[in-house]
Amino acid sequence: MPMTSELFSPLALRSGQVLGNRIAKAAMEENMAGDGQLPDRQLMALYRRWAAGGAGLLITGNVMVHAEALTGPAGVALDQAAPLKPFTEWAKAGKAGGAAMWMQINHPGRQIQADMPGVVWGPSAVGVDLGRHSSRFGRPVAMTPGQIEDTVTRFAVTAQRAELAGFDGVEIHAAHGYLLSQFLSPLVNQRTDAWAGPLENRARMLLDVVRVVRAAVSPSFAVAVKLNSADFQRGGFDTDDARQVIAMLQPLGVDLVELSGGSYESPAMTGRPADAHTQAREAYFLDLATDLVTTSPLPLMLTGGITRRDTAEKVLDSGVALIGMGTALAVTPDLPDRWRHRHEAERQLRPVTWSDKALASAASMAQVRYQMRRIARGSDPKPGAHPAYALLSEQRRQRQALRRYRAWLPASRGTAAASRPA
pLDDT in the model for residue 232: 53
167 vs 269, higher pLDDT: 167
pLDDT in the model for residue 117: 95
Give whole-number Cα distances, 404 to 33, 119, 184, in Å: 11, 17, 33
Let me know if residue 356 belongs to a domain: no
Give 236's pLDDT tier (boundaries 50, 70, 90). Answer: low
Tell me which DSSP letter residue 334 carries. Answer: T
Looking up residue 99, the CATH number of its domain turns out to be: 3.20.20.70
| Mean pLDDT within 165-186 | 95
Give 421's pLDDT tier (boundaries 50, 70, 90). Answer: very low
Tell me which DSSP letter residue 113 carries. Answer: B
pLDDT in the model for residue 315: 92
pLDDT in the model for residue 264: 52
Let me know if residue 257 belongs to a domain: yes
Let me know if residue 285 belongs to a domain: yes
Let me know if residue 395 belongs to a domain: no
Give whole-number Cα distances, 273 to 266, 363, 406, in Å: 13, 17, 39
Cross-strand partners of 122: 142
Phi/psi of residue 377, nearest 5 degrees:
-85, -5
Q: Which helix (H) or strand (E) holds 222?
A: strand 222-228
pLDDT in the model for residue 229: 77
Give 279's pLDDT tier (boundaries 50, 70, 90). Answer: very low
Find the domain containing 314 and state its range: 3-347
| Mean pLDDT within 182-191 | 94
**pLDDT tens, 2-16?**
333 499 999 999 999
pLDDT in the model for residue 46: 98
Give 422's pLDDT tier (boundaries 50, 70, 90). Answer: very low
Let me know if residue 388 belongs to a domain: no
Q: Where are the beta strands (DSSP E) in 235-384?
A: 256-260, 300-303, 322-325
What is the percent of the chain where pLDDT is above 90?
A: 76
Residue type (1 letter), 386 = H
pLDDT in the model for residue 221: 98
Give 383's pLDDT tier (boundaries 50, 70, 90). Answer: very high
Q: How many domains are contained in the chain?
A: 1
**CB contact at 8 A, 390 and 367:** yes
Let me know if residue 409 belongs to a domain: no
Let me know if residue 112 belongs to a domain: yes
Choose from 213-217, 276-280, 317-321, 364-368 the range with maximum mean pLDDT. Answer: 213-217
Let me know if residue 283 belongs to a domain: yes
Q: How many CB atoms lie within 10 A of CB 50?
A: 24
**CB contact at 8 A, 384 and 349:** no
| Mean pLDDT within 319-337 | 96
